[in-house]
Structures are given as structure tokens and as C-alpha cells.
Amino acid sequence: MRKLRLITFLAVFFTITASQAQTQRVSGVVTSGDGETMPFFTIVVKGTTHAVQTDANGNFVFDNLNPTDTLVFGFLGFETQMIPVGKQSTINVKLVPMLHQLNEVVVTALGVNRQKRELGYSTEKVSGAEIQQSNAPNLVNALTGKVSGVQVSNPDGVDGGTTRIVIRGNNNISGNNEPLIVVDGIPMSNDPGLTDIGRGRDWGSAINNVNMADVESYNILKGGAASALYGARGANGVVLITTRKGKKQKGIGVSYGMTYKMTHPYRYRDVQNTYGGGAPSIDYTQPAFELGSDSIPLFPSLSTDPEFGYPGSSVSWGPKMDGQTIRWWDGSLRAWSPQPDNLKLPFQDGHAVTHNISAEGGGDVGTMRLTISRTDNTPIVHNSNYDQTTLSTNSTLKISDKVNINLSASYTDYHRLNSPLLGEDPESFNKGLLYSWPRSYQGEDLASYSMTDGTRNPQDGFPYLYVDKYLWWKYYNNNTTLDRSKLLGGLAINYTINSWLSFVGRTGIDYTQDEFQSKNKPADLIGLLEGYYGETQQSDRGLSSEFLFTASKKKIFNSNIDVDFNVGGSQWSRDMHSLSAHSGTWYYPNWYSLSNYTSTIYGQDAGGNIIVTQAGDNQAALVPVNTFIEKRLTHFIHSFIYPIEIIYSWSLQVATTGRRHCHRMLTLISIRVYQLAMLLPMHLI
């Protein structure tokens, strides 16, 4: 027994001793690459949550370590180091900077490439690969959720519409809050397609016409310090877009890509499907149908007493929908039954197909990239398709070791059929869904907007308030097309004067030509009633030129001071022109022409006085008859730029930016009157 106790004691003793011998203490100090200590630096045992922090002087002490443990030293901006403990009692670690991060080059204002660590303001970069993977409808939508402080919203949810982008919130209570868009150094006009917050048609903005497959990267400049070199135009921030260039390689590389996108509307309002249109009477009786002379229940009145709330026709406090047969407002017999899907009537699945072909190549003297892209889009609403064809190139030419030239150009051919009406408009189906159509609405006016002979259904007895009773006729027969041609191009020359001084000069053009054509189908069989034809031509030309000398000197006078100095100038002008015309009251059936109008016919009374025997259009109000209006708005901005930046040992940085404007704005409105004598006797033709 004594022997057994002794053996047990010795076994426990040696076990405890062995366990104590396996644990050990490790101490040390953590320093940065330049020898500075790293206070409050976290050290972790690999694969565990066992961790300690360094003190204010970078020292640490780690207890209860095993020889098999591995210590992990990792910090943002430095290479991660993993060191086995082994038999070491002291471990001193010198962190190694991650050079590929510290030396990351980003594009800043005026296209100047800077190391990110040199910047005293916030900027973020998004790669073109991330943009393409998003399969977003346009470049701005592709930024959703990718950049902090950037808000992206699409007001109507329909591809081809304007996408609103705001950086760090609104800067203006009223007016434009969107950033300046710059493509390859060329400022691009990006006016929204809809400015009336109440109603209208949204034809989209120019950013929609940039081919996403051509984008190499985005650089988002946030705040006034980042975009100061662009002056007032960059007050809301700047989005710099750099397109892809050709690569130096043997031969020519050709690539093809195809993307397909399907959009399915799925989120609708939560509604009840028990009670149909109508309202209880003022004596609070249960809603019930009135009976016709044939004892068939009649369509209930949708007029609601204000005592019960909103006096519109969309309220559904009427009889219960049990499938009973009633006589509807148009005289037909239908079942009074639930309509759980009537909110989906105006919508469909959207489809978009994009084909992209690119060819690139290059050698010692330069590179070239050529791309052609084609997009066909069917959106989630009917009768609003669009297609776009884009041809673009980006080429570089090496003139000498010190001089190179870059040429970028993009031409877009864009065609769109209609843009749905938005907001508070009687012809907007969204207004009908919200304010006019009750839960019992079956789309009966949609199914019968046209008669069998092709004329418009008069919709007698139409009961729905605040919405046009001819909404669906106009939706499918009053069509407006947009044909857009857009050219965006720039030429830049880069000259490296010596090791510390360089020059860049750039000029570019942003030209857009829009043509709107409206055709309203006549509502009658003859082809005259409410027939309409109109044309609008708009041109928008922006010209920009700039030059910049950049001086960059490291360790000036053998000190720890680095100096960057820039001086340059810029000029920007914008010229807009619009010409509109439309027909009058049609005289010739089914003739879509500006010359289709009705003239006033004059005669004489018994006393020989000239009188109007048949009234016609007011020719003073008809543009094609005698008036064209041309508006011309021109801005000129001349600027001198002089930013300077001084950096001392990467710990002290002083930057200042100056910009002096010589601002001249010219506004010219001219009215040109043409007497179209050939149109006056047109009815004799």
C-alpha cells in the first residue's frame, strides 16, 4: 500500500513538473520600419483568441506560452509576420511596410497621378472589374454600396432613367447636389433627365451612355480639398473615370463578352383583397350593391364622403368581393372578385443583352484599344425599349523618351422609345395605382382602350377619379422617340522636361445631339381628332482645355522635406441650342408633318366687310408657320491654378490650393422669325 501511494505521488509530481516546464514567458518590443516603437499593438497566438497588447513604449510580455505556439504580428499597412515560440524568451519584431499599399497610385484632380499616402484628403478607388461584375444598368448604379459616403438612388426604377449620386450628403438646399463627372480628364455634362420633382418624363442623363466595359477604374474625390482644383464645378465632389488603354503585346488581342440581365418586379404594396371599391354611406350602413331594373347588382359609386377620409376613388370600403356577377360601369357583366395581382398590371419582366467586342495591341511606339458595344434593353414597363451602340478607342503614341500623346474618343448612337410619366400626372399609371384604382380594379379600361376598328374607346361612364380616362390609349398610341448622338473625346500630351519637372496639356470635347419626335395617333376613324406631330432638336457642346506644370522634388537641399508644386490654367465653355416645332389642328388625315394645320378661312358679309367664315389655328402660336426660337447660352471660365504641398518625413504635411477665376458668362437669347409663305396657301396644293 505504501509503495502504491509513493508511485502515485511521484507520477503526479512529475506530471505537474513537466506541465510547468512546457509553459514559458516571452517578452520583447515591436517597432516600425523606421525604428519607432508601436504602442498598443496586438499580438495573437495563431489559431486562438489568446492575445496581448504592447504598452505605450511598444513592450510586451506574453505568459503561458508553449514551445509549439506561433505568435502573429499583423497590422494595417505592414506585412504580417508569424514567429514560432520554440525556446525563445525574447522576441523583438521590426514591422515591414507593405510597399504595394504605401506606393498605391491614384488619379487626382486634373488627372495628376499621386501616391495615396501623399494625399491629405479622402479619395477612394473602384476597379473596372468590380463595376462589370455588378451588371448594373449604368456606371453610377454600379457604385451602389462600394464607396463610403456615396449615396446612389434611381427615382423610377426603370433602366435608362436618371440615377442620382450624392457624395457626403446634400450641399445645397435647392439646386444641383451631384458631383462633377470627368472621363479621361474631360468634364462631361451630366444634367438630370428630370428636374421637376412633381411630375414629368425622365429621359436619363449622359452618364448612361458610357460603356461600362471600357472603364478601368473610378476615383471618387470627396470634399472641397479633393476637388478644389475644379473650382465651383467640383463643389459637390468629383467622380474621375479612367478608361482602358491598349497593352503592349505581340500581335492583336481580340476579346468578346456577352452579358444578359433579367429584371423581375417583385416588391409591391401590402393590400387587402376582401372588400372592393366604394364606401359606406353617411348613415354608417353596411355597404351593399344597388340593383338595376333587371335586378342585377350595379357597379358601386366610388365617390367617398370626406367624413370617411380621403375622398378618392381608390378607397376600398365597398361590398365584399365574393365573386357575385354585377353590371360594371361600362355595361358589361363581370364577377365582383378579388384582384390580388392588379398592382402588377403595368409591369413585366425586363431583359437586357449586351455584346462587347474589343481589340487591343501595342509595341514600343504606342498602344491602341478599339471597342464596339451593343445593348438592347426591354425594361419592366411596356412600350419603353431602348438600344445603344458605342464605338470607342483609347490610344497612346510615344514620340520620344520624354514625350507621349494620348487620344481617347467615344461615339454613342442611342435610341429610346418613350419614357414613362412619373409622379402627380393624370397620365401616370403610378398615380392611378395609388389614388384612383380600388382593390376591385380589373384593368377593364386597359383591355378595351381601343375599339375593333382601331379608334379610341370613349370610355363612357368612367368612374375613376384623378386619372385620365384615356390613359392606356395615350400610353400605347402617343409615342415619343429620342435619337441621341454623343461624342466624347480628348487629346493629351505629356512632356517630361527633366527628372523633377513635367508638363501635361489636354483638350477635349463633349458634344451631344438629341432629337425628339412625338407622334399622337388620331382617335377617330377619319384620322384627324387629336392627331399631333412635334419635333425638338437639342445640341449641347462643351469644350475644355487645360495645362499643368508639375514640379516634384524629394529631400530638397538634402533635408527630409519633399515639395510638390503645380501651376497651370484651364478654360471651359458650354454652348446649348434648342429648336422646337409642332403641328396644329390637323387638316390632312394621318399626316404626321409640321405643315399639317388648319388655316382660317375669310369671306365677306353683305356689307363687304371681311369676316372669318371658318376659324383655324392661331398662326402666331404655331412655330412651324412663322417662328423659330433659338436659345444660346455660353459660359467661359478661365482659371489659373497653383497648388503646393510640402511633406516632412511623412509625418507633417502642409498643402494649399489656389484657383483664380476670370469668369465671363454670356447669355444670348435670339428669336429668329421666318415667313413661310409657301405654307399659307397649302390647302390649294
Q: Please report the pLDDT score of residue 675 as a whole number.
A: 33
pTM over 0.85: no
Over residues 39-71, the pLDDT tens digits come to 778 898 988 878 888 887 889 999 889 889 999
- Can you tell me the mean pLDDT for 450-474? 95
Closest CA relative to residue 105, chosen from 97, 116, 121: 116
Closest CA relative to residue 239, chosen from 220, 215, 226, 214: 220
- Can you tell me the mean pLDDT for 279-305? 83
Task: Supply 278's cell numbers.
Answer: 366604394
Burial of 400 (0-12, 13-18, 19+ CB in 10 A): exposed
Residue that wins the pLDDT comparison between 280 and 211: 211
Q: DSSP alpha helices (H): ranges in 110-253?
A: 128-134, 223-227
Distance from C-alpha of 192 to C-alpha of 185, rounded to nearest angstrom = 21
Q: Report how far apart, in Å, the C-alpha atoms of 325 and of each of 302, 439, 600 are.
A: 18, 16, 53
Whether 603 shows a pLDDT value over 50: the answer reads: yes
Q: What is the DSSP letter of 299?
A: P
Over residues 630-642, the pLDDT tens digits come to 333 333 444 444 4
Residue 411 and residue 509 in contact, taking contact as beta carbons nearer than 8 Å: no
Closest CA relative to residue 491, chosen from 479, 507, 468: 507
Q: Please report the pLDDT score of residue 228 as a whole number.
A: 61
Q: Please report the pLDDT score of residue 538 as a whole number.
A: 87
Burial of 506 (0-12, 13-18, 19+ CB in 10 A): buried
Over residues 235-248, the pLDDT tens digits come to 788 888 888 888 88
Distance from C-alpha of 50 to C-alpha of 62, rounded to nearest angstrom = 10
Q: Give the confidence band of 211 by pLDDT, cuts at 50, 70, 90.
A: confident
Q: Give the confidence band of 143 by pLDDT, cuts at 50, 70, 90.
A: confident
Q: Please report the pLDDT score of residue 681 as a whole number.
A: 34
Whether 680 shows a pLDDT value over 50: the answer reads: no
Residue that wins the pLDDT comparison between 199 and 165: 165
Q: What end-to-end distance do the CA atoms of the chain give, in Å? A: 136
Q: Please report the pLDDT score of residue 51 as a whole number.
A: 84
Q: Give the confidence band of 407 by pLDDT, cuts at 50, 70, 90.
A: very high
Whether 227 shows a pLDDT value over 70: the answer reads: no
Q: Please report the pLDDT score of residue 636 as a whole number.
A: 42
- Amino acid letter, 109: A
- Can you tell me the mean pLDDT for 481-486? 95
Whether 393 shows a pLDDT value over 80: the answer reads: yes
Q: Give the confidence band of 404 by pLDDT, cuts at 50, 70, 90.
A: very high
Residue with cell 523618351: 401
Residue that wins the pLDDT comparison between 640 and 23: 23
Q: Please report the pLDDT score of residue 339 as a whole number.
A: 95
What element of type H or E holds 158?
Answer: none
Residue that wins the pLDDT comparison between 355 and 551: 355
Over residues 144-188, the pLDDT tens digits come to 777 777 788 776 677 887 778 888 777 776 667 788 888 888 888
Q: Give the confidence band of 18 by pLDDT, cuts at 50, 70, 90.
A: very low
Residue that wins the pLDDT comparison between 593 and 21: 593
Residue with cell 469668369: 663
Residue that wins the pLDDT comparison between 387 and 191: 387
Task: Let me know how long the chain is.
Answer: 685
Q: What is the DSSP letter of 381?
A: B
The average confidence (pLDDT) of the chain is 80
